[in-house]
Structure 1
């Protein structure tokens, strides 16, 4: 996910929710602990340790160590790729009794795309995939044409007909691209109030609007929030300011709202990853619930 150039929704504040409003620091801390102990629906899996980055080959042992940290706190894990060690993520998750949303990372390199799609199909046929995601924000990045992406989606659906198949992108893409929405068994949408410059005070209401836009586009299909989060440190974006306090409260608000409204969501992210500084600025490295050293931040 990178910077949004414009807002696509109008923030409404008449029904803004904030589950932690008026609560003391101790009460907020206790809420956080209670949520983690009960377990969230899902976490996006952060693969890379300090000094590592995409392109490095990651061992199964590293995946298992990190997965065991998350195991008591989540029912699902989301992965983003099926190569370079990412293929270990769903295998280890299944060993530990965790369900999997497994993604094939698609870009503008045909050879990489073929390896990713083949890897996703193989993992699914071997029983390691509960939901298959064919690409992540490909339309947003404009790495493929709509027709190219549709061909990959239909190919995967044909190869693994008994597995739920979808595509991940920003919530509004499903309104703009009805052919892709139609091809998906499930709508997998990313919802980031922060990246649209939304102040924290309005962030939960804004995310609700994002979700309901995707829900309307899906025309009856199930919608899963595949990414949402708030950074604990870094640069601000318009009225959105990173801070440990806001990140903690956003996590709590998200989880309580999703539980109350029975919405499935994957929190971004599990661990801080330093390699994400760059296009996203310093803020990219601080989206985890655990820090880069795998210590709980809150």
Structure 2
């Protein structure tokens, strides 16, 4: 049996864990609700912005049969003309060939894109349509971008890309400059491409760099890259064809997607661009939900406007990450009350300590569940994703509720020897290890569902401090308890130890695994003593 001093230490740790979880829930929601003062942008107007109209559910450029109506494009460009002088497009398909003619109505210019890929037949259609569009709207076209990141994707060779560029150059009026756009590293790999374009268009996205740069330092990174490229291509005009910052998604090292960081980066970049008088284009006008399928949650949140065409932040004054932050506290209060009500069922303990434990556990669980619901609003697309996420969240809340009753009984000095069903922890471990595998081997675009797994992991961690398990954990649980933390170390290493989220994820794996290890060791020692 554990000694009284050991019990006292474990009880103290359990109370500390509940207090920290409660304070963390309070602090996190308060932190994202405060107004953050930021330096102002030099102007609310922006020179050029990437425009893709696929901002409503089900709209995607991958559907070659989908055609955006001229009315929708007109609606978008009429609104964008209030803030932007130019839009950049990426293709001629899906009805986007109509953009230059509509932009002319609002005295906007177009950096017109011709999309190139691995299909020669589709490339031919794009080239022919792009040439026809340029010739019909020569006064509106600021430039033509023949191919976007084709070399990065490996769809075409430099030689074949050059042939396409030269073909467009020969077929459009000489007053229209022609370029190719790619990440800045690829211009260093293929410097010969500079000789076939009228100006060099580079993409600088600090968040997506191999060594991600935090928003506070991102403009310094842009300045360093731009200066370097000027030295590599002296006498050649340079344009930043894409730069921006996401407002939601997973942390990459110390580069955090958020509304505040997007505003911080964009305002700072606009000041820098105005100082050096560089041509630039910001990515992008509207959030693009379809991009979440290929880039994870973060792919859908690069817009200055959300998918409902509402601005996400002002260009002047302070910025708030979550105006409805108080809903997190409300969820905590509601859940605390619910835990207290559930705690009255077949209650066999007395005292204020039990009620206090229930209220703190409920508040922490409520703020965590609200965090996960907020994450689901960003990440979930189809109904099946909502259904799966909701079921997992309901399961996590059920585990936390059941364990909180037993935790409250122990902290009220009532020695409740009942244990939750083994399959509860088996299910939580199985889901956690499955997600660990995905993160470890293909986690570049995956979020960390912290709000979901905080519920069972922290609950089992606190419960393990207060109880001595009566049964040996199953072999499957022992295996998963060993594998999970090992897999969870891999994201920490991938992020060079710089991502706070990966460390928290490792902590959750340990919180649910350590009680299994302890029970395993205790029962193994007991068996050995019996055999002796």
Which TM-score band applies after superposition, normalised by the shorter structure?
A: 0.7 to 0.9
CA distance in 2, matches of 1:188, 1:269: 16
Poorly superposed stretches of 4+, deviation over 3 Å: 24-28
Out of 192, 209, 224, which is 2:205 matched to?
192
Show structure 2 runs of 5+ residues with no match.
1-34, 314-532
Deviation of the 1:58 alpha carbon: 0.6
1:173-184 aligned at under 5 Å gives the runs 173-184=186-197
For 1:96, the equivalent position in structure 2 comes to 106
Out of 264, 276, 281, which is 2:291 matched to?
276
CA RMSD of aligned residues (A): 1.5
CA distance in 2, matches of 1:293, 1:221: 39
Out of 91, 114, 117, which is 1:107 matched to?
117
Q: Secondary structure at the match of 1:167?
A: strand
Indicate yes or no: 2:127 matched with 1:120: no
For 1:138, the equivalent position in structure 2 comes to 150
Q: Structure 1's 174 and 161: CA in aligned 2 closer, same or farther, altered over 3 A?
A: farther
CA distance in 1, matches of 2:269, 2:129: 32
Deviation of the 1:57 alpha carbon: 1.2
**C-alpha offsets along residues 163-185 of structure 1, whole Å, 9 cap, x if unaligned?**
20100001122222122111010
Decide which structure has greater strand share.
1
Out of 146, 168, 176, which is 1:156 matched to?
168
CA distance in 1, matches of 2:195, 2:253: 35
Out of 211, 223, 227, which is 2:242 matched to?
227
CA distance in 2, matches of 1:247, 1:26: 13
CA distance in 2, matches of 1:95, 1:208: 35
CA distance in 1, matches of 2:125, 2:161: 15
Q: Secondary structure at the match of 1:130?
A: strand
Contact 1:157 1:165 (C-alpha < 8 Å) held by counterparts: yes
CA distance in 1, matches of 2:300, 2:243: 15
CA distance in 2, matches of 1:152, 1:218: 22
For 1:44, the equivalent position in structure 2 comes to 50
Show structure 1 runs of 5+ residues with no match.
1-23
> Relative contact order (alpha carbons < 8 A, sep ≥ 6): 1 or 2 greater?
1
Deviation of the 1:249 alpha carbon: 0.7
CA distance in 2, matches of 1:114, 1:173: 24
**C-alpha offsets along residues 126-159 of structure 1, whole Å, 9 cap, x if unaligned?**
1242201100000000000111100001111111
Contact 2:36 2:260 (C-alpha < 8 Å) held by counterparts: no
Contact 1:175 1:213 (C-alpha < 8 Å) held by counterparts: no
Indicate yes or no: 2:96 matched with 1:82: no
* TM-score of the two chains, using structure 1 as the length reference: 0.87
Greater radius of gyration (CA): 2
Q: Structure 1's 27 and 209: CA in aligned 2 closer, same or farther, altered over 3 A?
A: closer
Range with greater deviation from structure 2 (254-263 or 41-50): 41-50
For 1:53, the equivalent position in structure 2 comes to 60
Contact 1:224 1:263 (C-alpha < 8 Å) held by counterparts: yes
CA distance in 2, matches of 1:40, 1:130: 15
* TM-score of the two chains, using structure 2 as the length reference: 0.49
Contact 1:276 1:285 (C-alpha < 8 Å) held by counterparts: yes
Q: Secondary structure at the match of 1:295?
A: coil
Q: Secondary structure at the match of 1:135?
A: strand
